[in-house]
């Protein structure tokens, strides 16, 4: 079901638990400057999370569908997968995203209902919920944003603490940890929040947990809730390497073909 957050402090940190039913997941390059996390749906791998060398991030979270966000064809409508592609490829730059989101109607693709956390350079972030007005960092007093599986805009406008909404427990836990943090934030603190919100049971366990540090051009991640073993992907050399918790060091050059996360579990 997913939990994600962004914190804009001295540096930017983006965290995400990707919660998903059992299926193949792979990490692959797209072009020269994008890294995608893709899930297998039928006989295809579809993108669910994207990172950009310039510090852009976008994900797709499941959310209950609403009528206003359902797919429809209209010259003014943009569906979420098109937005995903255009943001990560910088066809739509995050600097003009507020204008773009005001002018366009963001809708879902057929038979899916998702929402998104978008993080851009210059400490600008957005929550995009099809059928609802976007939220950005300028509208909030906090220097962070959290997203799980309910419509944050609805909760804000109705002064609802969202205690009964899907993912509300994870939302409040992550929010509290970020609001009450002390000292300079770090990758380790981000991993700690993900560890506390990881899903170990149910229909949507967490196969991968990630912290993106744009300033370092690096993504740190763990698999299946094992935070003793940490991997790293670096945009500087496109290498995936081990950080800690392994008997010896491993490394792999990530290419457009990609690598299945199940292959990385075999690194001892």
**Token pair of 185 as six digits:** 């934030």
Tell me the C-alpha distance between 45 and 57, whole Å.
19
Closest C-alpha among 124, 150, 122, 153 to residue 136? 124
Q: What is the mean pLDDT of the segment spanning 137-147?
A: 88
Q: What is the mean pLDDT of the segment spanning 205-230?
A: 97
Q: What is the mean pLDDT of the segment spanning 165-178?
A: 91
Question: What pLDDT sits at residue 141?
Answer: 82
Closest C-alpha among 201, 194, 233 to residue 217? 233
Question: What pLDDT sits at residue 162?
Answer: 61
**Token pair of 253 as six digits:** 């050059």
pLDDT tens digits for 19-61? 998 899 999 999 889 999 999 988 999 999 999 999 999 999 9
| Average pLDDT across the chain, whole number | 92
Question: What pLDDT sits at residue 161?
Answer: 57
Tell me the C-alpha distance between 203 and 198, whole Å.
13
In the predicted structure, residue 137 carries a pLDDT above the cut 80: yes
Question: What pLDDT sits at residue 268?
Answer: 76
SS3 at position 187: helix
pLDDT tens digits for 63-99? 898 999 999 988 899 999 999 999 999 999 999 999 9
Q: Which residue has the tokens 């990881």?
A: 198
Question: What pLDDT sits at residue 75?
Answer: 87
Per-residue pLDDT band for 154 (boundaries 50, 70, 90) equals: confident
pLDDT tens digits for 177-213? 999 998 889 999 999 999 999 999 888 899 999 999 9
Alpha-helical runs (H) found in the chain = 80-88, 97-103, 152-157, 168-179, 187-197, 261-264
Q: Does domain 3-264 have CATH number 2.60.40.10?
A: no
Question: What pLDDT sits at residue 166?
Answer: 79
**Token pair of 254 as six digits:** 């990530």
Q: Where are the domains of the chain?
A: 3-264
**Token pair of 110 as six digits:** 């057929």
Alpha-helical runs (H) found in 164-214 = 168-179, 187-197
Terminal-residue alpha carbon distance, the chain: 29
Question: What pLDDT sits at residue 203?
Answer: 83
Question: What pLDDT sits at residue 153?
Answer: 87
Question: What pLDDT sits at residue 163?
Answer: 64
In the predicted structure, residue 159 carries a pLDDT above the cut 80: no
């Amino acid at each position: 079901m997913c939990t994600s957050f962004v914190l804009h402090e001295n540096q930017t940190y983006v965290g995400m638990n990707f919660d998903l039913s059992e299926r193949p997941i792979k990490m692959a390059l797209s072009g020269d400057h994008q890294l995608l996390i893709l899930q297998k749906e039928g006989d295809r791998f579809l993108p669910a999370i994207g990172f950009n060398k310039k510090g852009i991030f976008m994900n797709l979270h499941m959310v209950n569908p609403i009528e206003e966000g359902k797919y429809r064809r209209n010259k003014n409508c943009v569906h979420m997968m098109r937005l995903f592609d255009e943001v990560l490829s910088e066809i739509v730059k995050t600097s003009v995203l507020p204008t773009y989101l005001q002018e366009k109607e963001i809708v879902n693709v057929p038979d899916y209902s998702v929402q998104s956390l978008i993080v851009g350079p210059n400490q600008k972030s957005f929550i995009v919920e099809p059928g609802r007005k976007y939220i950005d960092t300028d509208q909030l007093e906090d220097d962070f944003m959290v997203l799980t599986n309910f419509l944050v805009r609805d909760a804000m406008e109705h002064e609802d603490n969202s205690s009964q909404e899907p993912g509300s427990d994870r939302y409040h836990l992550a929010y509290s940890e970020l609001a009450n943090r002390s000292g300079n934030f770090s990758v380790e603190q981000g991993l700690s929040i993900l560890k506390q919100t990881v899903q170990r049971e149910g229909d949507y366990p967490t196969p991968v947990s990630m912290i993106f540090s744009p300033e370092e051009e690096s993504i740190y991640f763990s698999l299946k809730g094992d935070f003793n073993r940490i991997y790293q992907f670096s945009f500087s050399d496109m290498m995936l390497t081990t950080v800690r918790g392994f008997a010896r060091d491993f490394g792999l050059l990530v290419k457009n073909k990609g690598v299945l996360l199940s292959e990385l579990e075999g690194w001892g």
